[in-house]
């Protein structure tokens, strides 16, 4: 999924399920204002943690066959994780666990 597609897909799925932004905010523990900015494309795709909460709340799954160029996205994500780790925001153990989880998702 391209970063700019996330908000559009999120809004489409939310509306399909008849969920308001306020309801989604309560379900995900993410502010309705932030979710609204995501849908309007004013914010980049959120962190994996928030994205996972949104996917779960909307009953969405990570369908790899629909994600064109997923391998390239995976490599970018790994680079971001490493950068985040280098800033001291994540332990080595957390970094490895997150990368393994992402690899498992990519492999299906």
- Distances in Å between the Cα of 30 and the Cα atoms of 17, 36, 39, 51, 85 are 18, 10, 13, 10, 23
State whether the Cα torsion 28-29-30-36 is positive or negative: positive
Whole-number pLDDT of residue 1: 47
Q: Bigger pLDDT: 4 or 38?
A: 38
Whole-number pLDDT of residue 81: 74
Q: Any alpha helices (H) in 1-108, and if so which ranges?
A: 6-16, 21-28, 32-39, 48-57, 70-86, 92-107
pLDDT higher than 90, residue 24 = yes
Instruction: Supply the mean pLDDT for the chain.
Output: 77
Whole-number pLDDT of residue 68: 45
Whole-number pLDDT of residue 108: 59
Whole-number pLDDT of residue 30: 94
Q: What are the tens digits of pLDDT across the range 50-85?
A: 888 888 888 876 553 344 455 566 667 777 777 776
Whole-number pLDDT of residue 100: 76
Residue 1 CA to its chain's centroid (Å) = 10
pLDDT higher than 50, residue 15 = yes
Q: What is the pTM of this model?
A: 0.56
Whole-number pLDDT of residue 45: 74
Q: Are 19 and 58 in contact (CB under 8 A)?
A: yes
């Amino acid at each position: 999924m391209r970063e700019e597609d996330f908000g559009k897909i999120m809004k489409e799925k939310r509306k399909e399920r008849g969920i308001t932004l306020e309801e989604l905010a309560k379900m995900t523990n993410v502010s309705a204002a932030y979710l609204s900015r995501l849908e309007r494309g004013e914010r980049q795709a959120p962190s994996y943690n928030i994205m996972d909460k949104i996917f779960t709340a909307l009953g969405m799954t990570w369908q790899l066959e629909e994600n064109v160029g997923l391998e390239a996205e995976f490599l970018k994500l790994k680079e971001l994780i490493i950068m985040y780790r280098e800033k001291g925001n994540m332990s080595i153990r957390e970094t490895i666990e997150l990368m393994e989880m992402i690899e498992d998702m990519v492999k299906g």
